[in-house]
Structures are given as C-alpha cells and as structure tokens.
Amino acid sequence: CSVRVFERYSMMGGNRLSLTLTMFQNGDSPIRLSAITAGGSQAVFFKVNTLGEESFLNDVKDLLEEILEE
C-alpha cells in the first residue's frame, strides 16, 4: 500500500487543492488506485474549486491513459 498527497495552488479559487493517491496490491492481484481531490472554498452559493478539483483529477486520468497506451 502506498499513499501520496499532492498540493497545488488554484488561481481561480485563490487557495490550495489537494490530491490523495492510494495504490494497493495484494500479492499478484491487480493494482488498485484511488484518487481523491479536495479543496476549500469561501463561496456561499457556488463552490469555485470544483473546477480545479476536476482539472487535478483529469491530470491523473490523462497520465494513466498515457502509461497504459505504452
């Protein structure tokens, strides 16, 4: 099991976003990956960081697709 947490600054939200990746493998079973994004927002009616969180998650998705193509 391996857990990594990454952070980056969100220009749109004006604060930081985090991405937590957890990889797990039991013996010879397939590797499992969990990716969870989180970010704070000071907005009252609309959470601005949702766009930044989606972008962060899409970066992981794009990287995985690139790796799996090889």
- What residues does each domain of the chain span? 2-69
**Segment 33-64, tens digit of pLDDT:** 999 988 776 655 565 556 678 888 888 899 99
Q: What pLDDT is stored for residue 15 in this prediction?
A: 75
* Per-residue model confidence (pLDDT) at position 68: 86
Residue 15, class by beta-carbon neighbours within 10 Å (0-12 exposed, 13-18 middle, 19+ buried)? middle
pLDDT for the residue numbered 39:
78
Q: Mean pLDDT score of the chain, rounded to an integer? A: 83
- pLDDT at position 43 is 59
